[in-house]
């Protein structure tokens, strides 16, 4: 669901970790812990592995120490901001088979784009790359769903102006959801660029607000772990 998924979609991103979204169930947690044990993975940050903390939106971070995975960081989550539950994400997933017959289940590109709307500046060029890549693959086979996706998620004035010219009725229908499309309809590229920047900063603010209470909890977890370590040494 992270940088590795972007690589599969052709939006290359250098990533030293693998992010997984997991169905929150006792059976899945047991399978996960068994796999991590096989890879000799150790937790590298707070919080500890706890289904209740995952349910709050925390991620748990591990480092693998075995075989080809040695050094690989693995991040586990069960909840994502502004995204549906695992069952719906799984139902709409993208499945890719490689030349060796290996199967990879990826978050659907529409959901991956939403997941990338973070406070980190580096994620926003990746959103543009994902949407542009999707458009280039399916430009000659537009469907209502794909057209809505492009109109709502494209991040360059040139592409949005082109989309509004090509799909005028669909653009009108999306105005209530994305008002800046009015600027694309009128060809106001400079104002549109400013509106896109405002839109990005608003999403970044939402992400900061989402993580703010979780960061407070992480600080408390770190304090508790340091205190426990000091008591063990004493």
Strands (E), the chain: 17-21, 42-43, 60-63, 73-77, 94-97, 103-106
DSSP string, 52-102: HHHHHT--EEEE--SGGGTT-EEEEES--TT---HHHHHHT-EEEE-TTS-
Q: Region 177-196: what's the mean pLDDT?
A: 97
> Phi/psi at 221 (nearest 5 deg)?
-60, -45
In 3D, which of 169, 202, 161 has the Cα closest to residue 185?
161
Q: Region 90-109: what's the mean pLDDT?
A: 95
Q: What is the structure's pLDDT at 87?
A: 95
Is 228 a residue whose pLDDT tops 90?
Answer: no
The Cα–Cα gap between 124 and 226 comes to 35
Maximum alpha-carbon separation in the chain:
71
Q: What is the structure's pLDDT at 234?
A: 65
pLDDT digits (tens, 9 = 90+) for 125-142: 999 999 999 999 999 999
Q: Region 2-16: what's the mean pLDDT?
A: 83
Q: What is the structure's pLDDT at 20?
A: 94
**How many residues are there in the chain?**
234
pLDDT digits (tens, 9 = 90+) for 146-164: 999 999 999 999 999 999 9
pTM above 0.75, yes or no: yes
């Amino acid at each position: 669901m992270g940088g590795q998924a972007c690589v599969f979609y052709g939006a290359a991103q250098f990533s030293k970790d693998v992010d997984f979204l997991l169905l929150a169930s006792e059976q899945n947690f047991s399978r996960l812990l068994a796999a991590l044990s096989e890879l000799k993975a150790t937790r590298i940050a707070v919080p500890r592995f706890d289904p209740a903390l995952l349910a709050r939106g925390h991620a748990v971070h591990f480092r693998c120490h075995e075989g080809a995975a040695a050094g690989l960081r693995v991040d586990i989550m069960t909840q994502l901001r502004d995204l549906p539950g695992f069952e719906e994400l799984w139902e709409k997933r993208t499945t890719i088979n490689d030349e060796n017959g290996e199967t990879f289940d990826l978050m659907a590109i529409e959901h991956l784009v939403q997941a990338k709307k973070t406070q980190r500046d580096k994620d926003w060029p990746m959103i543009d790359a994902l949407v542009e890549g999707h458009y280039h693959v399916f430009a000659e086979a537009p469907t209502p769903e794909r057209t809505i996706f492009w109109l709502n998620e494209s991040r360059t004035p040139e592409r949005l102006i082109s989309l509004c010219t090509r799909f005028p009725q669909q653009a009108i229908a999306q105005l209530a959801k994305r008002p800046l499309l009015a600027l694309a309809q009128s060809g106001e590229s400079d104002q549109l660029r400013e509106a896109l920047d405002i839109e990005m900063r608003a999403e970044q603010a939402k992400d900061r607000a989402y993580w703010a209470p979780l960061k407070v909890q992480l600080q408390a977890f770190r304090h508790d772990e340091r205190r426990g370590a000091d008591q063990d040494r004493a």
